[in-house]
């Protein structure tokens, strides 16, 4: 049974807060009003919404790896010889020339022992196994990692392929954990950085927004942009847009967050409305009892 008018609604935590009665249940961060509802909802509700968004983004990320990267990696391993290893920071392999093991529009893997490079590779990400280092290249440039010293790593088909199949579930779990944790760290830092913006908007538009509520609103305002970036990542993984186009979407997702930081506070109630609702000494007026209709009998006395 819903609570009577003027009474607080129960929150997700089971406690009743009078300020939640002024808002619909915070469940979607897609509209300015939906984002504003998280300002006066419980912290657990915001955490649940962010968890759903983070798990969705992590699922898309892992899906791209399995759909676009893992097949290329398997093909590259199949092209390796039966012998080969990396010993004391030196690649020892029968592949002595520059050899492209596998490539797609997204990923290319090659062996480049002479260090000559390959001008024909146009993949978004290029991995080069050189004589003494591993180089990863993209539109951002190249980063080189020296091989580990005083250690031996397999670089042949017979040893790497079984290890890959064994470690895929562990790698998926680790990547998902790092991805979700990274998103929560980023959202926490950005909300702590941006929360003065909705407070200023609320102050100059005569809206009620305490500091803690402003922080929760800022955290919710980042989710529409995250959803846009996730959608762009899925489209890029499907091969419908280029990496450059996805980078444009990544920039736009920041602008979407800033837009919601400004628009969401305008959906909050006026300060006077909130103060009246939170005042425990104000109660809704009870309806007055109507007087019974007078008799129309002319023989009755008034």
Q: Are 96 and 218 contained in the same domain?
A: no
**Residue 168 pLDDT more than 90?**
yes
How much is the pLDDT for 6? 44
What is the torsional sign of CA 117, 83, 104, 163? Answer: negative
| CA distances, 234 to each of 122, 180, 239 (Å) | 21, 17, 9
Residue 22: the pLDDT is: 57
Where a domain ends, among 125, 155, 185? 155
The Cα 5–Cα 284 span in angstroms is 8
CA 186, distance to chain mean position in Å, is 9
Tell me, yes or no, whether 216 lies in a domain: yes
Q: Is the pLDDT of residue 25 over 80?
A: no
Of 4-8, 61-65, 108-112, 234-238, the least confident: 4-8
**Same structural domain, 174 and 252:** yes
The answer on 177 and 151 residing in a single domain is: no
| Tens digit of each residue's pLDDT (9 = 90 or more) over 70-128 | 999 999 999 999 999 999 889 998 988 888 999 999 999 999 887 776 667 789 999 99
Domain membership flag for residue 241: yes
Domain carrying residue 91: 81-155
Are 246 and 225 members of one domain?
A: yes
Cβ atoms within 10 Å of 12's Cβ, excluding its own: 16
Specify whether 121 is located in the same domain as 258. no
- What percent of the chain stands above pLDDT 70? 81
pLDDT confidence bin for 11, thresholds 50/70/90: very low
Q: Are residues 173 and 267 in the same domain?
A: yes
Is the per-residue pLDDT at 252 higher than 70? yes
Same domain, 174 and 143: no
Band (17; pLDDT cuts 50, 70, 90): very low
Burial call 185-215: b when 16+ CB within 10 Å, e when fewer: eebeebbeebbebbbebbeeeebbbeeebbb
For residue range 113-132, what is the model confidence (pLDDT) as tens digits? 877 766 677 899 999 999 99
Q: Is residue 119 part of a domain?
A: yes
Three-state DSSP class for 164? helix
Q: Once rounded to an integer, what is the mean pLDDT over residues 49-65?
A: 95
Same domain, 213 and 273: yes
Angstrom distance (rounded) from CA 100 to CA 116: 12
User: Is residue 8 domain-resident?
Assistant: no
- For residues 216 and 39, the answer to whether their CB atoms sit within 8 Å is yes
pLDDT of residue 27: 84
Which pLDDT does position 294 carry in this prediction? 56
Which region among 100-109, 207-216, 245-254, 282-291 has the lowest average model confidence (pLDDT)?
282-291
Q: Structure pTM?
A: 0.79
User: Contact, 226 vs 190, CB < 8 A?
Assistant: no
CA atoms within 13 A on the CB side of 175: 16
Closest alpha carbon to 53 in 261, 256, 263, 224: 224
pLDDT band per the 50, 70, 90 thresholds, residue 300: low
Question: End of a domain among 155, 190, 209?
Answer: 155
The answer to whether the beta carbons of residues 134 and 128 sit under 8 Å apart is yes
**Rounded alpha-carbon distances, angstroms, from residue 52 to 29, 32, 39, 216, 219:** 11, 19, 18, 16, 14
* End position of a domain, from candidates 155, 176, 203: 155
User: For residues 178 and 61, what is the distance between their CA atoms, to the nearest angstrom?
Assistant: 12
Do 106 and 132 share a domain, yes or no? Answer: yes
| Measured distance CA(78)–CA(81) in Å, rounded | 8
Same domain? 185 vs 224 = yes
Q: Is the pLDDT of residue 284 over 80?
A: no
Tally of structural domains, the chain: 2
The string of pLDDT tens digits covering residues 46-56 is 999 999 999 99
Does residue 25 belong to any structural domain of this protein? yes
Do 151 and 174 reside in the same domain of the chain? no
182 & 246 share domain: yes
Is pLDDT above 50 for 34? yes
């Amino acid at each position: 049974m819903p609570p009577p008018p003027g009474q607080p609604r129960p929150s997700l935590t089971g406690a009743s807060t009078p300020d939640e009665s002024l808002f619909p249940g915070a469940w979607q961060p897609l509209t300015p009003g939906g984002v504003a509802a998280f300002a006066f909802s419980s912290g657990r509700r915001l955490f649940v919404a962010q968890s759903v968004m983070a798990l969705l983004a992590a699922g898309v990320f892992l899906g791209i790896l399995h759909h676009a990267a893992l097949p290329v990696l398997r093909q590259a391993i199949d092209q390796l010889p039966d012998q080969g290893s990396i010993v004391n920071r030196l690649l020892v392999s029968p592949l002595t020339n520059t050899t492209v093991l596998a490539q797609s529009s997204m990923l290319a893997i090659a062996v480049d022992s002479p260090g000559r490079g390959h001008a024909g590779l146009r993949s978004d990400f290029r991995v080069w196994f050189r004589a003494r280092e591993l180089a990863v290249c993209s539109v951002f440039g190249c980063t080189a990692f020296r091989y580990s010293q005083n250690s031996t790593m397999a670089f042949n088909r017979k040893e790497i392929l079984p290890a890959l199949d064994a470690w895929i579930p562990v790698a998926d779990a680790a990547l998902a954990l790092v991805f979700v944790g990274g998103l929560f760290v980023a959202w926490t830092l950005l909300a702590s950085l941006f929360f003065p913006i909705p407070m200023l908007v609320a102050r100059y538009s005569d809206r009620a927004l305490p500091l803690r509520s402003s922080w929760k609103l800022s955290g919710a305002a980042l989710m529409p942009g995250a959803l846009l970036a996730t959608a762009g990542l899925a489209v890029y993984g499907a091969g419908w847009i280029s990496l450059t186009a996805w980078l444009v979407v990544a920039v736009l997702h920041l602008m979407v967050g800033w837009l919601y930081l400004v628009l969401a506070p305008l959906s909050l109630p006026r300060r006077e409305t909130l103060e009246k609702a939170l005042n425990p000494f104000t109660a809704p007026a009870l309806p007055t009892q109507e007087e019974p209709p007078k008799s129309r009998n002319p023989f009755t006395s008034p």
